[in-house]
Chain A
């Protein structure tokens, strides 16, 4: 199928002024500015198929926001090409943004002083949404996001969770094909996060909206994304389904054993003891080499086991592994 987003060798350079400390430093950088070229985004390529939910993740300063800004046409790349729905946002910004919904979790596009509904009315006119489509969309959105509870409340009086629901609705009113969500769950409580994840899933399933999500909340990633693109230092370091990522990056499992009494010979040829705390011992082993059952049976033959548990690595371990190695 034709890709919704096609990014090829994307590079974004900008100049960063080097500042030295103190007044002397400030004067020096005023008179003789030392500017260095920094590659915020350094040769990123990927392609996203219609209907995917892709988690675009990486540590702070990895180049996530810059990439999102280029994909949405706010910034122009230094080099490389972008196609969104077959169009380059640099060549025809208006045509591309018509197909996009964009939510920045840290900022709102709603009018602070006015009731939520007024912002929607403005968007209806900006995107030239005809009355029936508008009302249909609003009804669906109200239903999923429970907007009716607060559509007549001034935005400044909304809770953060309500405001975020309002922002999501605002981004979806014009039935965009692609939804960009930049940290949509930042600062929200568990309930609100849940509501927002449900909404994203619903829009993806029922309307076939492609979603690109940046987040630091790995629960978001685990519950929503079928695919992860991990960036660091402006480069894509991993790209694939979550399971295979975890599998590839963290081939280890942990077996935690608690003994009845101290023993001398704790070792096992295929497992490494990585931690000991009194009677508790942590064994790390590779899942490819041995199953947990085998290890347990080996150990139970020579050790008086009181209790045990197996720990699977999760997405967090995998991500930590990525950030560490690059």
Chain B
């Protein structure tokens, strides 16, 4: 017990130091920071503007009107924002393998995955969260989301689960780099897939894709299924039992644990093959 406490204290102290250094490193390049500050809001607000044009000009997307779409989009954006703050290094495993930075993690007496993730807290990612929060709150206003204590707890669990699902996806993809040494294209592909899968209601897609994004790569649980429940919509072709929103944290944790297992297998292969 005492050993565990001191071990936790050790990891927290290192994580805090990593975070401080990461912030200092990012502040070394203020212009770079500023360019993100400009670009990211433009990207997301233009995204929501597109949704509005589509719905205004044509018709609600499969029964989803603009307020509901804003709610859905905002929910997805927030979990994306939190993800890029804490897990962005999972995008760079291939580089670390190639330039030897990964070897350095193996030379230090700490958990390798912890070092990988904690060594870069991307506080620039907070810029991703801000438009996400604005869009989400705007969507809540429009769609008449009720801020009850129960709903807030559910919402937090959904966000947590969403972050875990995203992290699991990128950890699994990043692990491929242990074999292929290159996976940058996989990362951008997964990002595009996530954007399409979380921005629009899953029910507009053909059944095959709905099944794929529900059971195989469960990104439907990041924003679509929780939004279905919060807004009292129909989930379309696939009817799932129980409270849809509460599936998200459960699936998030299962996926995350699975991705840890995949990561360990990848590391074993790295240890036996080298780079």
Contacts and interface: CB of A to CB of B under 8 A. Distances in A.
Interface of A: 14-15, 66, 69, 72-76, 78, 93-95, 97-98, 100, 102, 104, 107, 109, 111, 113-114, 118, 121-122, 125-128, 154
A35 B195 CA distance: 39
The 6 closest A-B pairs by CB, nearest first: A94-B109, A76-B271, A98-B109, A113-B25, A113-B28, A74-B106
A212 B24 CA distance: 35
B95 to A, nearest CB: 13
Contact of A73 (B25, B100, B106): B106
Nearest to B16: A125
A126 B110 contact: yes
Interface residues of B, number: 24
B17 A72 contact: no
Contacts of B25: 111, 113-114
A128 B274 contact: no
B271 A75 contact: yes
B207 interface: no
A130 to B, nearest CB: 12
A95 B68 CA distance: 54
A69 B274 contact: yes
B107 A97 contact: yes
Nearest to B115: A126
B263 to A, nearest CB: 15
Contacts of A72: 106-107
A100 B110 contact: no
Contacts of A73: 106-107
30 contacts: A14-B274, A69-B274, A74-B106, A74-B271, A75-B272, A78-B272, A94-B109, A95-B109, A97-B107, A97-B108, A98-B109, A102-B107, A107-B99, A107-B100, A107-B101, A109-B104, A111-B21, A111-B25, A113-B25, A113-B29, A114-B24, A114-B28, A118-B21, A122-B14, A122-B17, A125-B13, A125-B14, A126-B109, A126-B110, A127-B108
